[in-house]
Chain A
């Protein structure tokens, strides 16, 4: 009995805590209250400017090919690595034999982005001179009339096994949705030139019933074009034997012709983002001291008004990022590696002039509150840069009423220490 009584006493006197109760205001609520504010800061961006040239075509992760009448005509170009003038004919001894000819060549391209509503997606292949480089232009490559052949990827993919009679094949990765197109070129289309050690250069054009705009993987992304030579090799004077050799590309890029009269790559006072060469805009925020120092931000939204909408097909929609910078050096401002200082939104083809584009940047503003030494500047950029042709331009801060604004919802400092 005594033990039971002691246990009961221990139970009712054990440390316990629950002091939370609904408030019955104002009689039984604290005198201070949490005060929320919702406001639009129209003049918070006080200096902004646009710069171009951040990613050039030969530096891009993708090779853009598009045939959009009246808008743009763009073609991928690349030059392969040499394979030498001989191949191993006897693997046990490593004996080499000279390449005396080729039977055929297979060219594999990876389409990383395409508009799945584009029908009869067709790749047209061109042989190009080996001298192509980063200075090569669309017009500098002539008229592009002598194509080697074309391959209708949709037709091949529709076949059983996705392989046609010419041994062309098309595969679609079910996870990444990337399409790999392997085209077979015979020795007439792709002769082996011993003096070039097997280097070849190709151009690729895309055609479709409509919306012909694709992105091909480049060597920078690890998905660049690959070729496989099927060669005839001298077997130490006895006969020729077939041998194959695969290689990637040494150089890839794309050339384009801007057809739209509305597309002007010349920068003006508007805030340009994207395009080719890639443009970025730097925005500098002058946050009110109270907001930077004394409040807690619940939500912050950057509001941008479109000055010039992007042109392209729906698949050309891109990600717009507001990226915090480590230091404000204008065009050369290094971007922050901190993911909390990156805010993104999707810009869809179809946005019209005067439409607003909103970017939720609560985390960025909170990071500015934490790190008061961080520059309150953002770089507006496309993600990833150089992977889309469309360029969007926003009204600058000099355009009163339409310039960038910040819609911020915050809670004021609670009046602690008051009875």
Chain B
């Protein structure tokens, strides 16, 4: 086998061997209720421009049609470390976590057709909640501490292909297997040690299926318009062999516009609508705008994004606003790319304000 093929096989093995429950995108207190917090199907390159370039980025899995631009074998992985602060009712808690939310692999099979795949977070379900209360036991109130935790996620395993039909049009399609598990824990510890503490654990498994399609049009050389759609059928929850829950999943519709006024400057904007009310949440509309300045191996990226979260208390969807900044560095003739960035997020809803700093590091290999 040639070196590129060996490298591609190694990359594929490394990318697909990762455990799905470490794929969670970004933990949030808004994942405690409902199905969780939706993940981001973006590489660091796209995410540091607030996701505006996601539908155009062959390393991201937002729109399958973007694979058409992967003219050589490309493997990508993302590491995100988040430092969160949740404030509610005058109290605040500082939380942190490290995740590997996205991995992708793409490469051409013919001159016009490119295939790709990988993992991304579909829903993040990681949290640990501690509460204090008491109960009347044997004639006296017994105080206790409850800890209910959930550690895991639903991963999106994507198989996709894209074809450039002409210089001004490309199409893409993908199939998505939703799979994942979470380790759930329910623990009670009494202050009075004559009552023994209890710990219950269970591994809950999830599965589902989805399809996606997209089209990219280049009406003029400097402008690309992408439209994409995705439909996921349902999320089935299993505990052992028993099905404990089945929830419909949303339909996703999105559109994006990219303008490249010069080879060293690009701006883009996207808008996405998802029917999360099918899953018992709020329908969400999200937007983003970003720019990438600088050609070659060290571009500068920045952007702003906003939108809603599907699950939260009350009658209105929680909101989210974020700004991003990032850059990249190429090595070995751009065969290895390191992208890094910083994301600042503010989420609000139901009296809770959650702020987060996320440090993003991405590695792309083009053997």
The residues of A with any CB-CB pair to B shorter than 8 Å are 9, 12-34, 36, 38, 296-299, 360, 362, 366, 407, 409-411, 413-414, 416-419
Interface size of B in residues (CB-CB distance below 8 Å): 66
Please name all residues of chain A whose beta carbon is closer than 8 Å to the beta carbon of B361 when the two chains form the complex. 9, 13
B195 touches A299 (CB 8 A): yes
Residues of chain A lying within 8 A (CB to CB) of residue B129: 20-23, 28-30
A21 touching B86 by the CB < 8 A rule? Answer: yes
Q: Say what secondary structure dominates the interface of chain B.
A: strand
Contact yes or no, A38 B138, CB < 8 A:
yes
A34–B146 CB distance below 8 A: yes
- Chain B 133-149, CB-CB to A under 8 Å as 1, else 0, gives 00111100000101111
Q: Is the Cβ of B188 less than 8 Å from the Cβ of A411?
A: yes
Stretch of B8-16, B88-96, B211-219 with 4 or more beta carbons under 8 angstroms from chain A: B88-96
A-contact 0/1 string along B239-252, CB 8 Å cutoff: 10010110100000
What are 29 sample pairs from A and B whose C-beta atoms fall under 8 A apart? A14-B98, A15-B98, A18-B94, A21-B29, A21-B130, A22-B129, A23-B129, A28-B88, A28-B129, A29-B131, A32-B186, A36-B135, A36-B137, A38-B138, A297-B196, A298-B195, A299-B196, A360-B194, A411-B200, A414-B184, A414-B186, A414-B200, A414-B202, A416-B202, A416-B239, A417-B239, A418-B245, A419-B35, A419-B280
Given A20-B128, A38-B136, A418-B244, A12:B196 Cβ within 8 A: no
Tell me the bound Cα distance from A417 to B237 in angstroms: 6
Q: How many A-B residue pairs have CB under 8 A?
A: 164
Known interface pairs A27-B350, A38-B138. Does A13 touch B79 (Cβ–Cβ under 8 Å)? yes
Query: Lowest 4 A-B CB distances belong to which pairs?
Result: A417-B244, A27-B313, A296-B198, A414-B186
CA distance A14 to B129 in the complex (A): 24
CA distance A9 to B312 in the complex (A): 34
Q: Which residue of B lies closest to A301 (CB)?
A: B138
Complex alpha-carbon distance, A26 and B312, angstroms? 11
Give complex CA distance A31, B35 in Å: 11
Distance in Å: Cβ of B267 to nearest Cβ of chain A: 27
CB-CB < 8 A to A16: which residues of B?
A: 81, 96-98
Contact residues in B for A298 (Cβ distance below 8 Å) = 188, 190, 195-198
Once the chains bind, are A14 and B245 in contact (CB under 8 Å)?
no
Of B32, B88, B138, the most chain A CB neighbours within 10 A belong to B32
A417 CA to B242 CA, complexed, in Å: 10
Q: A36 contacts which chain B residues (CB < 8 A)? A: 135, 137, 144, 188
CB distance from A124 to the nearest CB of B (A): 47
Whole-angstrom CA separation of A112 from B151 in the bound complex: 58
Q: How distant is the Cα of A23 from the Cα of B131 in the complex, in angstroms?
A: 5
A336 to B367, CA, bound (A): 66
User: CB distance B247 to A17 under 8 Å?
Assistant: no
Residue of chain A at shortest CB distance from B79 = A13
Annotate B11-30 by CB proximity to A: 1 below 8 A, 0 otherwise: 00000000000000001010
Q: List the B residue with the shortest CB-CB distance to A299.
A: B195
